[in-house]
Amino acid sequence: TVDAQIDDTTLREFYLRPFEATVLDAGAWGVMSSYNKLNGAHAANNVELLRHILRDDWGFDGFVVSDWFGAHDTAGSIEAGLDVPMPGPATIYGRHLLAAVREGRVSEVRVNERVETLLRLIERTRADEFPASSVEQTVDDPNERALVRRAAAAGAVLVRNENSALPLEVGSVQTIAVLGPNARVTRTQGGGSSSLQTIESVSLLDGLTERYGADAIRYRRGVSIDKLAPIIDDDTLRTPDGQVGWRVEYYDRDEVGGAPRRVDITRQTALTYFGAAPPGVDPFDFTVVVTGDFVPQVDGVHDVSLVITGMGSLSVQGEVVVDDPQGLLPRGREYFGFGSEEQLHGIPM
């Protein structure tokens, strides 16, 4: 519903400058359109923005993807140059696009342009060499580490440094107060599609403790900022045979109890499957069983929660605390509205 009214000079010299540098200097392969309108047209079907500026003026030959549920106009989006509406082509393309072509509202020339862009993306990413069910892998490259470190440092802005307090030299301070939950939990990336496996991360608290020593650090968690119960740290998870993580067993639907189709170890307690599954598992008809131990850092009552998109149950120490065999739990806001409301229970541990 937001319609940003911006004149051409301000738009190009101020708002679009970082994107222009990303396209022209860094050679970006992909761009995501925003939710809002710009000068009367949604970004996903904004001809001036996506076709005239991005492709014609900047020479961009990559793909444009909409933000989730951010595309609303089939003919307008094709004309502007939107390649992939999300969360999938069926939202405004697919049968909608076929009908628009048959009715003469969209030319085959514009459709072919979008197809050509996607074929170029497949070639660039070698997507045809890897099945959609491939397990995500992370490559530890020293050169990439150095580049990411430089980017992180260059992207940080010191707003104020009163009395030249920074940098804090080792031995120059007796105590350092570290406040807030984000000091202990490393926030290296966003959620959803921007969330990938990290090779290694060091929290602010751990980094400061290593640099200045545990005796110098005074940490307080403060107020929680989590909407839901926070994801469990992987170093507190153990499989039944003592490995770090939890055991994940994949079964055909309703065949739990026999030999699983596949067994993995996960260090994450949030598992998502967007129309895909690991090799050997039917992505549209499977059951997941996750088992393991949680090693609490302190004794007391711990909040245990479950959010699911289908049917499921949760047991703690042999006691069933959530049981929803028919997927009837009320829907909440997670997973684009398909997830259940959080089922939260306090468990003494």
State the catalytic residues.
67
Contact 179, 220 (CB under 8 A): yes
Please, what is the Cα angle at 273 between 269 and 277, to 5 degrees? 110
- Which residues, including other chains, have CB under 8 Å from residue 137's CB and lie 6 or more apart? none
State how far Cα 62 lies from the chain centre. 21
Structure tokens at 206: 């751990």
Rounded alpha-carbon distances, angstroms, from residue 327 to 44, 184, 234, 309, 322: 34, 35, 28, 8, 11
> Prior bond to 131 cis, omega within 30?
no
Structure tokens at 195: 């969330």
Please, what is the Cα angle at 290 between 289 and 292, to 5 degrees? 140
